Structure 1
Amino acid sequence: MVDSVTGAPISDGTAILGNQQVATDTSGRFHLDGAAGSVFLRAPGYRAATVEVTPGNTTPEIATQRLDPFTPRALYLTVYGIGSNVLRGAALNLIRDGGANALVIDVKGDRGLVPYPSGIALVNAGGARQLTTIPDLPTLVRTLHACGIYLIARIVTFKDQPLATLRPDLAVRDASGGVFHDREGLSWTDPLRPEVRRYNIAIAVEAAAAGFDEIQFDYLRFPDSPQRLRFSEAVGPDERVAAISSFLGEARQALRPWNVYLAADIFGYVCWNSDDSGIGQRLDTVVQNVDYLSPMLYPSGFQFGIPGFRDPVSHPYEIVYRSLETARARLGVSPKRFRPWLQAFRDYAFDRRAFGAVEVKAQISAAMDFGSDGWMLWNPGNKYDGAGLVALGRDGEEAHGASTSDPQSCH
Structure 2
Amino acid sequence: MSARWRAAFGTACAALALAAASCGRAAAGTQTAPATASVQTRGVVIDAATRKPIPHAWVVVDGAAQKVAADGRFASMAGVTVIDARAPGYQRARTPVTGDAPVTVVLTPFRPKAVYLSVYGVLSPVLRDAAVKLQESNGINALVIDVKGDRGMTPYPSAARVAIGAAAKLPVHPAPMRDFAALVAELHRDGLYLIARIVVFKDDPLADAHPAWAVHDAQGQVWRDREQLQWIDPFVREAWTHNLDLAEEAARLGFDEVQFDYVRFPDAPGLRFAEPNTRANRTAAITGFLGAARERLARYNVFVSADIFGYVCWNADDTAIGQQIEQLGAALDYISPMLYPSGFTWGLPGCTRPTADPGQIVRRSLAEAQRRTGLPGVRFRPWLQAFRDYAFDHHEFDADEIRAQVDAADAEHTNGWMLWNPRNRYDPAQLPR
TM-score of the two chains, using structure 2 as the length reference: 0.85
| 1:106 and 2:149 aligned | no
Report the aligned-residue RMSD.
1.8
Aligned counterpart, 2:8: none
The answer (yes or no) to whether the contact 2:123–2:155 under 8 Å persists in 1 is no
Aligned counterpart, 2:293: 251
Match runs of 1:237-386 below 5 Å: 237-385=279-427
Q: CA deviation at 1:5?
A: 1.6
Which blocks of at least 5 consecutive residues in structure 2 are unaligned? 1-44
CA deviation vs aligned residue, 1:259-284 (integer Å, no higher than 9, x gap): 10000000001111121110000112
Aligned counterpart, 1:95: 135
- Pick one of 36, 40, 43 that aligns with 2:80: 36
CA deviation vs aligned residue, 1:340-377 (integer Å, no higher than 9, x gap): 00000010001112111111000000011110010000
Aligned counterpart, 1:118: 158
Paired residue type of 1:160: D
Q: CA deviation at 1:20?
A: 5.0
Paired residue type of 1:359: E
Q: CA deviation at 1:159?
A: 0.2
Q: CA deviation at 1:83?
A: 1.2
Aligned counterpart, 1:150: 193
CA deviation vs aligned residue, 1:272-326 (integer Å, no higher than 9, x gap): 1121110000112211101000000000000111122111111111100110111
The answer (yes or no) to whether the contact 2:215–2:233 under 8 Å persists in 1 is yes
Aligned counterpart, 1:405: none
Tell me how far apart the structure 1 counterparts of residues 223 and 124 of structure 2 sit (CA, whole Å): 33
**Structure 1 pair 24/334, CA: closer, same or farther in 2 (3 Å)?**
farther
Tell me how far apart the structure 2 counterparts of residues 130 and 12 of structure 1 sit (CA, whole Å): 43
Match runs of 1:75-224 below 5 Å: 75-120=115-160, 122=162, 125-130=165-170, 132-224=175-267
Q: CA deviation at 1:130?
A: 3.3
Tell me how far apart the structure 2 counterparts of residues 333 and 390 of structure 1 sit (CA, whole Å): 27
- Count, aligned residues: 386
Paired residue type of 1:370: E
Q: CA deviation at 1:40?
A: 2.5
| 1:69 and 2:109 aligned | yes
Tell me how far apart the structure 2 counterparts of residues 360 and 124 of structure 1 sit (CA, whole Å): 40
**Structure 1 pair 290/270, CA: closer, same or farther in 2 (3 Å)?**
same
Instruction: For residue 40 of structure 1, give the secondary structure of its aligned residue in structure 2.
Output: strand
TM-score of the two chains, using structure 1 as the length reference: 0.90
Tell me how far apart the structure 2 counterparts of residues 189 and 123 of structure 1 sit (CA, whole Å): 17
Paired residue type of 2:300: W
The answer (yes or no) to whether the contact 1:159–1:219 under 8 Å persists in 2 is yes
Q: CA deviation at 1:381?
A: 0.5
The answer (yes or no) to whether the contact 2:157–2:176 under 8 Å persists in 1 is no
**Structure 1 pair 7/82, CA: closer, same or farther in 2 (3 Å)?**
same
The answer (yes or no) to whether the contact 1:223–1:279 under 8 Å persists in 2 is yes
Q: CA deviation at 1:333?
A: 1.4
Aligned counterpart, 2:58: 14
Give the number of the structure whose alpha-carbon radius of gyration is greater. Answer: 2
Q: Relative contact order (alpha carbons < 8 A, sep ≥ 6): 1 or 2 greater?
A: 1
Paired residue type of 2:59: A
Instruction: State the percentage of identical aligned residues.
Output: 50
CA deviation vs aligned residue, 1:9-53 (integer Å, no higher than 9, x gap): 322422233475443444333344434364331111101112344
